[in-house]
Amino acid sequence: MHHHYLLNKPHSHLSQFTNQHTTRRNKKMLGRLHDFAPGTMSIGRLDENSEGLLLLTTDGKVSAAINGKKVEKEYYAQVLGEVTPAAIEQLNAGVEIGFNGQRYQTLPCTSRLLDPRPEFSFPPRRVHHPSHGPTSWVSVTLREGKYRQVRKMCAAVGHPVIRLIRVRIGKITLGDLGAGEVIEVAELEY
């Protein structure tokens, strides 16, 4: 029998269970958040500074299916500056980013300005002070997931990311999960 989990990954945690490198000795791992079944793996990753929905499973087939390009992943990003319709159009068309030392053209995606701004039950790690300039919130929905892709895409259109939260994977949403909260589910309906 396989085990499946929904997790709201908090800021400052790595999307892994063990210290694979000695340089990461003091890093926070997912295993400290819950007593996961042996063999549990994260489906995809969120970088250490990102938050939000992370799916975990002991079933490699489910992991491979969700990581594929058929399943959408939606992110809410708080970015520096006031996002213009032109920036949204650029994101939607795909932008050029760096990946593995090469230039990469992202696939077309769906992005939009979020107005009103989203509210979350878990506070930000750092609060952006208004004296540092205005911010905007955007939704970016992808079917691919290169390393730090949403951050790189937003920076490429002139809006560096301040806070990044994954809110949806396929049909599964973050909902009201608090930071670090884990729910075990019978199956992942994506």
| Domain containing residue 119: CATH number | 3.30.70.1560
Coarse DSSP helix, strand, coil percentages of the chain, rounded to the nearest 5 percent? 20, 30, 50
- Residue 25 covered by a domain: yes
**Confidence class for position 119, pLDDT limits 50, 70, 90:** very high
* Claim to verify: residue 91 and residue 55 sit in the same structural domain: no
Residue 123 near residue 163 (C-beta atoms within 8 A): no
Residue 55 near residue 2 (C-beta atoms within 8 A): no
* Sequence-ordered list of residues with C-beta below 8 angstroms from that of 26, at least 6 positions apart, any chain: none
Residue 6 near residue 55 (C-beta atoms within 8 A): yes
Task: Using the predicted structure, report yes or no on whether residue 89 has a pLDDT greater than 80.
Answer: yes
* Claim to verify: residue 140 and residue 55 sit in the same structural domain: no
Per-residue pLDDT reduced to its tens digit, 130-180? 888 999 999 999 999 888 999 999 999 999 999 999 999 999 999 999 999
* Claim to verify: residue 41 and residue 107 sit in the same structural domain: no
| Domain containing residue 177: CATH number | 3.30.70.580
* Claim to verify: residue 54 and residue 35 sit in the same structural domain: yes
What mean pLDDT is reported for the chain? 92
* Total number of domains in the chain: 2
- Residue 162 covered by a domain: yes
pTM listed for this prediction: 0.93
* Claim to verify: residue 41 and residue 52 sit in the same structural domain: yes
* Catalytic site positions: 47
In which residue are the tokens 């019978």 written? 186
Distance CA 72, CA 173 (A): 11
* Claim to verify: residue 50 and residue 87 sit in the same structural domain: no
Full residue range of the structural domain in which residue 60 is found: 4-68+171-185
* Claim to verify: residue 156 and residue 96 sit in the same structural domain: yes
- Residue 190 covered by a domain: no
**Angle formed at CA 109 by CA 167 and CA 58, multiple of 5 degrees:** 45
